[in-house]
Amino acid sequence: MSLMHQSQVSPQPADTGRVMSWLLLATLPGITVLTWHFGLGVLTNVLLAAGLGMGLEALVLRLRRRRVRPVVADNSALVSGVLLGASLPPGTSLWLILVGMVAAIVVAKQLYGGLGQNPFNPAMVGYALLLISFPAAMTQWSAPHGIVGPDGLSFGDLLVRIIGFNSELDGSLGPDAWSGATPLDAFKHKPEAMLASEFWATTPLPEGTQTAWRNVALAWLAGGTLLLYKRLIGWQIPVSMLAAMGLLATLLYAADPSHHGSPAFHWLNGAAVFGAFFIATDPVSAATSRKGKLYYGAGIGLLVVLIRDVGAYPDAVAFAVLLMNFAVPFIDYYTQPRTQGHARPNRGIKVVQLDDEEAS
Amino acid sequence: MAKAFDFPGGIHPPARKTRSTRHPIATAALPKRVVLPLGQHIGQPAEPCVAVGDRVATGTLIARAQGLISADVHASISGEIIAIESRRVPHPGGLSETCIVIEGDGIRDDWERLPALDWRHTDDATLHARLTASGVVGLGGAGFPTQVKARVRERHAIDTLVINAAECEPYISADDMTLREHAADVLEGARLMAHLSGAERIIIGIEDDKPDAAAALKAAIKAGNRDSLEITLKAFPARYPSGGEKQLIKRLLNREVPSRGLPADVGVLCHNPGTLRAALQAVRDGRPMVSRIVTLTGEALARPGNVEARLGTPMTELLDAAGLDEASLARLVMGGPMMGMELAHLDLPLVKSSNCLIAASTIELPAPPVEQPCIRCGACEEACPASLLPQQLYWFAKSQEHDKAELFNLFDCIECGACSFVCPSHIPLVDYYRAAKSDIRARAFEAQKAEHAKHRFEFRQARLAREAAEKDARRQARTQASRRPKAESAKAASKEPPTTSQTSSAASSPSANDADLKSLRIAHAAAKAAVRKAEKVLTRVSQSGGGQGQAQNADEIQDLEVQLATARENLAAIEARMAAAKEAAAEATSDSSMDTDRERAE
């Protein structure tokens, strides 16, 4: 019943709306670099997803007869939209974004009771649904042509793509010329007989692709560092996730460098860094205690490398996060801290504690 | 200080103490009328021992302590008792309680003191009696009767007396000022309490934002260094809630008070400086507890500071004397802003546990922001000084999953409010915990009541069964006694009386009788074991007797006695039945031998 509150007496952001605003600010470097390398399609993704997120949230709140304004003002729907938008291939069709945002905001979040009640990360629910339902569209990443490079999409083309139903391009520009595989995708489909060194020597990707992805990862890292610095996220999940990825990747790479990616390859490609700082750290769906967060992050890291190397998908952050969301209640029961005055922490879900006398 | 000597979590709220420490402690004007509630302490309210119309002097006993945990109440001014009636008292729910109202003239102040004692040359029993007779309770806010704490030696071995001078809550400076001006008295009071509890050393824990108080203490330690007690002063960086008893002990001694235990369980006794001074005054000067030092602060006061005021003084008088600007008063808080209570009225009396009154403006303590959903960000977990998971407790409290809340150690929460302070969603977490706790307590009480009723019923059943068994045994003995002469007269006794069919059937089949006897023997052994167990539990509980749960303990003991009596009844019933069965068996063998004799004769 404290009558004082941190948000009223300290400059630290201590208010859900402001926390979310800082989170949005921290996504800017990542989005900027993505746009720089992959064109305006990134921006349209982010803006459309964010707008749809806010709109859908307001719509559902109205249907649920809740007050709209204060809830939308917590910016959480905006954040979900921005995060989903940033994970989609540039210039994704409006319809796909709508499907994804309905899954994220309406199904994964509001149907469970709104902010704080969702067991799964909304943005990743939307992403996973799109990836499973529309695999072709979702794996068509554009080559890094720059914002308005000579080979890039013209504004009109972009518009056609967005309004078109399934992101197919019209005949004027062949899909091969415009789009390209991501490094993870390319490496995944490397011929079995070919060694990794030979594969990269064939320059399987458009020029600059690797550099572009590395820069994007570093930009997300910069944003993540801001979050850590402002203490909006704990260090536990990003560190344990990236460390677990590095550990498993190192083991696999050491065992067979010709068919497995190096740790650096895993870290700097795909959504690893983005996921570590912006997706896995979603507090609502993550494990609760500090110790639990370490296990949670490590689980995501291991699953990401396993699915990338052995699974059917080139990248796996969404699936890894969702799978670990399932494990959260279990982790929570087994990672309670030792309360002051107790000899050891409680573990497990036993509820009736028998007294010594009663037990004997 | 070593890292190990610390408690987890904690927060740094703004201290806002300097406003009330600029001037020395003033004496508040003698009030014309005081209202003295009968329950200014933890435990049972006192019982009035004066009547309306009686004239009392300052220090006259007006209400006597009731039961084990209670404290006397004394008149705090000279005058006439004008009412003993229900009045509003400082309580978060705005409840009323029986109060004794005394009216004086605001000038006359005649004292009725107890004889002065030199505690170094007085036996413990007299000192205990003096503390009991002077109504001293803990002045830190909880109001635990001091004489009960002084008797801690009866159950626990105490090695350290801790003076809790941390005063970690914002605004409050009553202990700080008490130490600055009365450090020697506080130390002497600590020596007295250490003497009573058997502690070998005194440790003073103080936050380092009170350099003046620390300096005064150092000087007093140096000046009074003629006894064998080891007195140490430990200053540590300010961090809320280092003044929490358990946190302070962890910080000073690196000992953890066990869950649901008392500091005495780890050999420590904690006292607030003001309490020690009051205890010393009660013994040395024979002065019962009739006043206390209270911090008057907040931006709505023109002249904030600390005053020594008579108990029962209307808060309005104190605040007006400190220059209250009612227009800018947004909320009146008794205690600190973290754990204190907001008062709905100004006309409440000052009580023994009122350490601070904050007349806050809207700017300094604004209305709480709107509660938002919990996003499990974990800020509360980092702030929790008890290493709990407040975010989980919140979910369990909200969904009334009390078993899970208890599993996650809800009852180790000290309600310090650090979690509510940091929560970015502005959730009043402590309110949820309090509601869950009282709900759990209420349910446990109901369950216990039902259980006790069940035990009483079982006792009745057992008593009836025992009586029936004894009656049966007597009747059987009678029948056999009447049958024996018949058998001896050797008339062809072929017809059995219908009432003894049972005995006859037992007699007709000796093997069935044996089996019956065997099962009775087993039941006898079990009943004996049950009696022994009940005796053991009863002795254990009556010996352990927790310090605070006396009333509850008495209830439990009574219930255990009922259970023991039930076990004894069961044992008696089985013994009666066994005796009867043995008798019957003996009879049967003699009968059967007689039968064979008869057959042979035929």
DSSP H helical segments within B303-344, as ranges?
315-321
Q: Note the pLDDT of residue B216.
A: 93
b/e for A86-125, b at 16 or more Cβ within 10 A? bbbbbbbbbbbbebbbbbbbbbbbbeeebbbebebbbbbb
- B17: three-class secondary structure by DSSP: coil
- Chain B residues whose CB is inside 8 A of the A19 CB are 377, 424
Looking at chain A, the whole-number percentage of residues with pLDDT higher than 70 is 88
- Chain A residues whose CB is inside 8 A of the B257 CB are 340-341
User: Which helix H or strand E contains B170, and what residues bound it?
Assistant: none
Q: Which residue of A has its CA nearest to B368?
A: A3
**Which of A74, A336, A339 lies at the smallest CB-CB distance from B372?**
A74
- Chain A residues whose CB is inside 8 A of the B381 CB are 288-290, 337
- Chain B residues whose CB is inside 8 A of the A2 CB are 337-339, 417-418, 420-421, 428, 430
- Chain B residues whose CB is inside 8 A of the A7 CB are 369, 424, 426
pLDDT higher than 60, residue A353: no
Residues B352/B289, Cβ–Cβ less than 8 Å:
yes
- Residue-averaged pLDDT of chain B: 86
Q: Note the pLDDT of residue A7.
A: 75
Residues listed for chain A: 360
Task: Judge: A337–B387 Cβ closer than 8 Å, yes or no.
Answer: yes
Could you give the CA distance from residue B246 to residue B412 in angstroms, rounded to a whole number?
10
Minimal CA separation from A216 to chain B, in Å: 27
pLDDT tens by residue, A72-88: 888 889 999 999 999 99
- B221: three-class secondary structure by DSSP: helix
Task: Judge: A19–B388 Cβ closer than 8 Å, yes or no.
Answer: no
Could you give the CA distance from residue B508 to residue B584 in angstroms, rounded to a whole number?
11
Could you give the CA distance from residue B198 to residue B580 in angstroms, rounded to a whole number?
59
Could you give the CA distance from residue B365 to residue B358 in angstroms, rounded to a whole number?
10
**Which of B337, B370, B376 lies at the smallest CB-CB distance from A4?**
B337
pLDDT tens by residue, B349-363: 999 999 999 999 988
Greatest Cα pair distance, chain A, in angstroms, is 84
Task: Judge: B373–A114 Cβ closer than 8 Å, yes or no.
Answer: yes
pLDDT higher than 70, residue A14: no
What predicted TM-score, i.e. pTM, was given to this entire model?
0.80
Q: Mutation test of the interface with chain B: which of A4, A68, A109, A354, choosing the one with the most B Cβ atoms within 10 A?
A: A4
**Which of B256, B408, B426 lies at the smallest CB-CB distance from A5?**
B426
Q: Which residues of chain B have pLDDT under 70?
A: 1-4, 225-227, 484-512, 542-554, 590-602
pLDDT higher than 60, residue A349: yes
Rounded-to-10 torsion of CA A233, A234, A236, A242: 30
**Which of B250, B407, B422 lies at the smallest CB-CB distance from A6?**
B422
- According to CATH, the superfamily of the domain at B18-357 is NADH-ubiquinone oxidoreductase 51kDa subunit (3.40.50.11540)
Task: Judge: B368–A342 Cβ closer than 8 Å, yes or no.
Answer: no
Task: Judge: B7–A336 Cβ closer than 8 Å, yes or no.
Answer: no
- Chain B residues whose CB is inside 8 A of the A115 CB are 372-373, 375
Minimal CA separation from A267 to chain B, in Å: 26
Q: Which two tokens stand for residue A86?
A: 């940033």
Tell me whether A3 touches chain B (CB under 8 Å): yes
Q: Which residue of A has its CA nearest to B537?
A: A357
Q: Which residue of B has its CA nearest to A337?
A: B387
pLDDT-derived band at A1, boundaries 50, 70, 90: low
Tell me whether A116 touches chain B (CB under 8 Å): yes
Tell me whether A62 touches chain B (CB under 8 Å): no
Task: Judge: B424–A284 Cβ closer than 8 Å, yes or no.
Answer: no
Greatest Cα pair distance, chain B, in angstroms, is 120
pLDDT-derived band at A240, boundaries 50, 70, 90: very high
Looking at chain B, the whole-number percentage of residues with pLDDT higher than 70 is 90
Q: Which residue of B has its CA nearest to A18?
A: B424
- Residue-averaged pLDDT of chain A: 85
Residue with more model confidence, A175 or B109: B109
Task: Judge: A5–B424 Cβ closer than 8 Å, yes or no.
Answer: no
Q: Note the pLDDT of residue B106.
A: 86
**Which of A9, A332, A341 lies at the smallest CB-CB distance from B412?**
A341
User: Which helix H or strand E contains B407, and what residues bound it?
Assistant: helix B402-407
Q: Note the pLDDT of residue B549.
A: 46
Task: Judge: A332–B392 Cβ closer than 8 Å, yes or no.
Answer: yes
Could you give the CA distance from residue B430 to residue B322 in angstroms, rounded to a whole number?
32
Q: Note the pLDDT of residue B509.
A: 56
- B148: three-class secondary structure by DSSP: helix
Q: What residues of chain A, 316 to 355, have a C-beta less than 8 Å from chain B?
A: 332, 336-342, 346, 349-353
Minimal CA separation from A3 to chain B, in Å: 5
pLDDT-derived band at A123, boundaries 50, 70, 90: very high
Could you give the CA distance from residue B198 to residue B160 in angstroms, rounded to a whole number?
8
Residue with more model confidence, A275 or A195: A275
Task: Judge: B338–A2 Cβ closer than 8 Å, yes or no.
Answer: yes
Minimal CA separation from A49 to chain B, in Å: 22
Q: Which residue of B has its CA nearest to A340?
A: B386
Task: Judge: A339–B374 Cβ closer than 8 Å, yes or no.
Answer: no
For chain B, give every domain's residue range.
Answer: 18-357, 379-438, 451-489+502-543+553-601
**Which of B375, B430, B537 lies at the smallest CB-CB distance from A1?**
B430
